[in-house]
Amino acid sequence: MSKVWLITGSSRGLGRDLTAAVLADGDLVAATARNPEQLKDLAEKYPGNIYPLMLDVTNKAQIIAAVENTIKKFGRIDVLVNNAGFGIIGAAEAYSDEQVRNQLETNLYAPIAITHAVLPCMRKQRSGRIIQISSIGGRVGSPGLTVYQAAKFGLGGFSEALAKEVKPLGIWVTSVEPGGLRTRMMASMACAPEVDGYENTVGIRMKMFKSSDFIPTGDPAKVAKVMIDLADNPEPPVHLLLGSDAIARVKQADIARSEEMEKWLPVSMSTDACDQEN
């Protein structure tokens, strides 16, 4: 039986590659975008299998309508992919309140709200897959990306806790955490105003992202294939790093965190209440 996918941010980047791959695989897709007209070619190629929907993921009424209309159209939702999002770079003190709010609303609050809207359907089905598109930035912090990574760290924590809640209901949750992908995301990242003093931290990373010489390692088409395989895997992981760059950075971070924990272990252990002492 064909699976029903609900994919946000389907009109470009990874979301576009995933939508095309799922359709080519014979499944049904409720494909959301701010401008569904950008999905016209896929609708012509796969009539009846794709259901383009307008969705601003920060609009609660549109979220509810998208989920309800998907269920009316296809009868169920088997796989939710929270993909829509965008990045911003700059020093933490340079971000405006609006920039911080937009990052959290799009990259954290929206996936939580969409997941919330889809869960009743999956709970009644006693089955479902929720794939959250996070980032290596949800595991390891980097200068210049504080607010974006605050959202991604939050999404990873939400996903890990949610996975424990819904596993007994037959619902599996995976936080997909790629390294750099060859999409236009990095080149199109918004920027906060520059602030003196951050040239050797934020400045270096900003130049790297904007440089034409910077070529990410990740292939979005291969990432899309992994997500299709995840939807069929009987025991998918809660966290899935993708890309050699992501693996290398997490290994380095794990070593540094372990060394820091051991160094401060006496202090950590010193705060137990006296009745816990041996």
At 134, the amino acid letter reads S
Which stretches of 75-109 are DSSP H helices?
97-104
Residue whose C-alpha is closest to residue 192's, from 180, 182, 203? 203
Single-letter amino acid code for the residue at 194: E
Active site residue 251: no
Give yes or no: 60 in active site.
no
Q: Which one is catalytic: 10, 51, 95, 134?
A: 134
* HSE-CB of 37 using CA atoms within 13 angstroms: 1
Strand residues in the chain grouped as ranges (E): 4-7, 28-33, 50-54, 79-82, 88-89, 128-133, 171-178, 190-191, 239-242
User: Catalytic one among 3, 135, 152, 175?
Assistant: 152
The answer to whether 134 is a known catalytic residue is: yes
Q: Do the beta carbons of residue 127 and residue 78 sit within 8 Å?
A: yes
Beta-strand relationship, 88-89 and 128-133: unpaired
Beta bridge partners of 131: 81, 174
Separation CA 209–CA 216 (nearest Å): 9
Residues belonging to the active site: 134, 148, 152
